[in-house]
Structure 1
Amino acid sequence: MGSGVSRGGRRLRVRRFRCFRSASAAVAVLATAGTLTLTACGGGNNNGGGTTVRPSPTPPATESFTGTPPSPLSSAASSAVASARASASAAASSASARADEFEASVSAAAERANQEAHKRLANVQGRGNAVSDVSLSGIPRAQVNDLQAAHVNIHNSTDKTANFAVQVDFRDPNGKVVETRYVGAENVRPGQTVHPYAISHQPPQPVLKPEVAKAERY
């Protein structure tokens, strides 16, 4: 067509060149849209067949983040710390709930005596007048729902019926007081010894050491 060449020669090559140039332009346009599709130009075959090439995934643009994305190692460490904190919190909650449950089984009179002991000791200076009449002894954990607890042994060494208020401090292995409980005993007869409980609401570990901080007879 205007080139003066034969049908089977140069004219066919020109058609292929134009098809290739058109396909190249189409590739450039489609690539900017995120999809790359190559369509074969038929030399003598008009079946319309083509080849589709899907691009490889690209990493997200860093400008869409604030700060530095965490590395896999730091992410794993953060997850481990969060898991440890959750476990510690669950252990503390469980111990406190078991202590509440055990104390709820104690008589209302004993609970009232403990509350009165707290009030009495608030105004006591020093260690009180009955420290020598009070001692502590251990309790098997199986008897107190696997809690840390102690028997508060209160002995009335006088010749009159008396009431007692005792403060028990629980110390950690470093000697720090981590919890304070108040225990009362009412109408203890002369020469009588009673054994109320002092129950910690802390988790079973670390092991705490209970001690008599104050004791008042009234």
Structure 2
Amino acid sequence: MPRTKGVLLTAAVCCAAVLTGCSDDDTPSSVSSAASRAASAAESLGSRASAAVSSLDSAASSALASATAKAGRELDEIRNGVDVTSDIDLGTPGTDKDGRATVDVTASNTADATKSFAVQVDFTDPGGNRLDTVVVTVSDVPAGGNGTATARSNRDLSGEVKAEVARALRY
């Protein structure tokens, strides 16, 4: 988003150059006045771009907080679940036809009976910052077997996206 602010500022400066070149009066005061108006316009555009970026950042933070809270509630509702994070493997993240991040989830059932799994998958950027989180269920995995499901982000994620198992319960 900072690039948008730079583009707007560049456009305002170009407008100032055009205004200066089109002036009927070549006196220093008219050139100065045109430059001043262009600078003011650039500042105004820059302020609006900053406000737009802040608004988008706020919306993304709110969506992430909501998704995180929802994931926590879903996992907290499971009774007698056993932490089995180490029994979960994730594939390579990709993007589906709708632009959402996806990753295949494989659950290995080491129990002696059929079990289901609730897996919280965090989608992160390369720096480890959480972009989104979801809970996927891998149902009815036979004893000693594997089951698969696909985790899908709640919203479009841009840039390089990684995935990690945040929490996993077998029940």
* TM-score class, shorter: 0.5 to 0.7
1:74 and 1:207, CA in 2 relative to 1: closer, same or farther beyond 3 A? farther
In 2, Cα distance between equivalents of 1:71 and 1:202: 41
Deviation at residue 139 of structure 1 after TM alignment:
4.7
1:135 partner letter: D
Of the three residues 128, 132, 135, the one matched with 2:86 is 132
| 2:76 is the counterpart of 1:122 | yes
1:74 and 1:152, CA in 2 relative to 1: closer, same or farther beyond 3 A? farther
1:190 partner letter: A
1:154 and 1:81, CA in 2 relative to 1: closer, same or farther beyond 3 A? farther
2:116 equivalent in structure 1: 163
2:89 partner letter: S
Bigger relative contact order, structure 1 or 2, given CA contacts below 8 A and separation 6+?
A: 2
1:78 and 1:149, CA in 2 relative to 1: closer, same or farther beyond 3 A? farther
1:176 equivalent in structure 2: 129
1:59-102, CA deviations, whole angstroms, 9 ceiling, x for partnerless residues? xxxxxxxxxxx83234235436646838x95xx99xx9xxxxxx
2:45 equivalent in structure 1: 79
In 2, Cα distance between equivalents of 1:82 and 1:201: 28
Deviation at residue 185 of structure 1 after TM alignment:
2.0
In 2, Cα distance between equivalents of 1:138 and 1:122: 27
Normalising by structure 2, report the TM-score: 0.55
In 2, Cα distance between equivalents of 1:166 and 1:122: 12
2:144 equivalent in structure 1: 191
In 2, Cα distance between equivalents of 1:74 and 1:80: 10
In 2, Cα distance between equivalents of 1:188 and 1:78: 59
Normalising by structure 1, report the TM-score: 0.44
In 1, Cα distance between equivalents of 2:140 and 2:124: 30
Number of residues of Structure 1 aligned to a counterpart in Structure 2: 121
1:161 and 1:119, CA in 2 relative to 1: closer, same or farther beyond 3 A? farther
1:157 partner letter: T
2:104 partner letter: H
**Structure 2 segments unaligned to the other structure (5+ residues):** 1-35, 64-69
1:15-70, CA deviations, whole angstroms, 9 ceiling, x for partnerless residues? xxxxxxxxxxxxxxxxxxxxxxxxxxxxxxxxxxxxxxxxxxxxxxxxxxxxxxx8
List structure 1 segments (4+ residues) > 6 angstroms apart after TM superposition: none
More strand by share: 2
**Between Structure 1 and Structure 2, whose CA radius of gyration is higher?**
1
**Structure 1 segments unaligned to the other structure (5+ residues):** 1-69, 97-114
RMSD, matched Cα: 3.4
More helix by share: 2
Of the three residues 139, 145, 158, the one matched with 2:98 is 145
